[in-house]
Structure 1
Amino acid sequence: MKLRREREEYFRLVRQGFNNKEASRLVGVNERTGREWRNGRTDPNRFRAPAQSERAPSPASSGRYLRDDERIHIADRLREKATVRSIAAELGRSPSTVSREIRRNRTTDPRGQWHYRPHAAQARADARRPRPKVGKIAQNAELRDFVQQHLTLRWSPEQICNALRAQFPDRPEMHVVHETVYQALYVQGRGELRREVARALRSGRARRRPQRQAASRQPRFTHPMVMISERPAEVEDRAVPGHWEGDLIIGKDNGSAIGTLVERATRYVMLVHLPDGRTAEHMRDALTQTVQSLPSHLTRSLTWDQGSEMAAHHAFSLATDIPVYFCHPGSPWQRGSNENTNGLLRQYFPKGTDLSIHSREHLDAVAAELNGRPRKTLGWETPAERLHKLLAA
């Protein structure tokens, strides 16, 4: 980059003892540009900026915040008409980080034109960084009185914020979001709103209740779950048959369900009939009856999600000697074969329909049709053919 090389050459000459005029001439830049590089300022008629050694030290930088050398790089590349994305790639930053930096810390002249000055941008960033900051409500007495008055009238914070925008449309200093009001009420030590005003909230709480309390979370089931991370390694490569994935497909208004079982190595499908509902007891009994029709070497493990229908997983394992492993919440890809099969089954059992009308015989017929369908992942063999080979062996 030409501008960067010129800057480096300029400072090399200055360190050798050349003054600004001589160094600028040798590099081929204007004397004013040299002064801006050396002093970190843009207006030559203003007082001379203190030397680098005399300036107050900037707060310690981290990877989260842009450094002064990165801001200098941004300024150099902007002068060379580089795009924001190319600058971000050179710095190893997100394009939005560079774009936001330019928008926040640029300098606008009286004619409305903007310029990015790295040292001024660094000063603005350092000034904004200290914490804690004074809240917007605490800074504006008129805003504080308006909020307090309407809280006393039992208005919600969201109603107050919308009223502020309607009543003061051209005064952005009077606009806040409802979270700002909640912060002023609940955050200790701010004192932006009177503590007794919090009693006017409909919740009646003077303190914000945490939504997540990991230490007080109740166990999902009576017997602890064995997570998928503890599942044997042989399950992952699908080389050993007998490891199953299971789930439910739900009918209209959550009123009916069908259990689905898929063997990982062969993609063989078995459907669990649940005519009486999907409680833990019904699921345990129906699942036990289904897997007991298989030979023991094809029932090595079962992987399920954390649905409440598996609350009796311990009793199921005792009755069948099949360990049950549970996926992590919101991780359907950990039962990928089962999820794919459930999508295929929706051709036979559409969403929003009553699944309780299907008989045991109909479920067996659907499973047989799927198991007779050739699969690309099996080398165009059918799941039934692959399972037959295993049984014969």
Structure 2
Amino acid sequence: MRALLVDDEPLALEYLKKKLEYDIGGVNIVGLCSNPYDVVETAVKERPDVVFLDIHMPEMNGLELGEQLQAAVPRIEIVFITGHDQYAVRAFELYALDYILKPVRMDRLRLTVQRLRDKFQEGPDHSETAKTPLFLCFNQLRFQLPGMEPQTLKWRTSKAQELFAYLLHHRERTVDRDTLIELLWPDFEVSRATQQLYTTIYHIRQTLAKAGLTTVRIIKGELETGYRLTIGGAQVDTEEWEQRLKRLGAIDITTVGEHEQVMEQFAGNYLGEYEYLWAEYERERIRLLWQQHAENLARFYMHHGNTKAAIDVNRRIQRQIPDREETYLTLMKLYDALGDKSGVEEQYWLLATRMKELELALPPKISEWYGQWIRLRSSVLEEEATIHFKSIDSAADK
């Protein structure tokens, strides 16, 4: 077990080093730091399994330093050493494995070392090869590990789910504490809302840990002004989809298959299952990107005379955006081009029913087109009927 010891008192460092290396044994001390500003650099260089960290240091709070360590070396274990047990709750919010009260007792130190050994024997989640997740934000918030099926995080409360979604939405940026309180507990008095925030952050950390998402961390911002979600090497499917969309070239015979794949990858609106008002702008932005791409693909098929493919794309647009009147008219024209009378009437009936539910009148251009189609069809039917009866009369005369 590789350990880094941090305390602003050199004597305390030497005492702890002796207890761990000689009295208990099996602990390799890779560094002693009395200057808190050297700790993160030393941890990145030495990659210790655990840091024994004094909470009270004159130049930097040990809790703040613990968050910096977890951001720099995500799978590192932290044992806080303190003379005041009121820091215990904050320590465990940081996912500290343990905390030890000063003066350090030998039996208590042995217990902590045993806990560490047990922890390191649990499995590969604590190794450098921890699997990187993909967060799924199309429609429902889930995550997926390589080679596994998508999973849903088991949130303790709906507030915990929304807070995590909001921090994921603003990932790698510190969100002000007051902003989070106003978002989730606007009617609570400040002290109560603050406590709710601390508790919810704790539950989120617990949920992430149970799911094995060891590279995903919530870090407290500078001067404790807010929180930042760091996701390590994790990806977000909506972001990956947008990047792939931007890399596509113009639609032609050679690229149309890839354009189809990207259109199909759009699996629903951004966080569409949840009524988060703060997500509405991003939801609409991504939806419009998809809509414009799908419409371009439909026009390509229409231009090349592939009417059935154009219908398939427009019906997909219709399912995703049922209030877009233009799609109904486009489909009516496409079905008419195929001579599919029932297809035209189905689209007109669907739109008429929807507009009636909304207590709105049909758009004039659609009513006019359908009226012309009915009249033209009636005249065609009359002409066909006339020809039919003439052929019957002619046959009878013979």
Task: State the structure with more CA Rg.
Answer: 1
TM-score category (smaller protein): under 0.3
* TM-score computed with the length of structure 2 as normaliser: 0.24
TM norm structure 1 = 0.24
From the two aligned structures, give the one with the greater helix fraction: 2
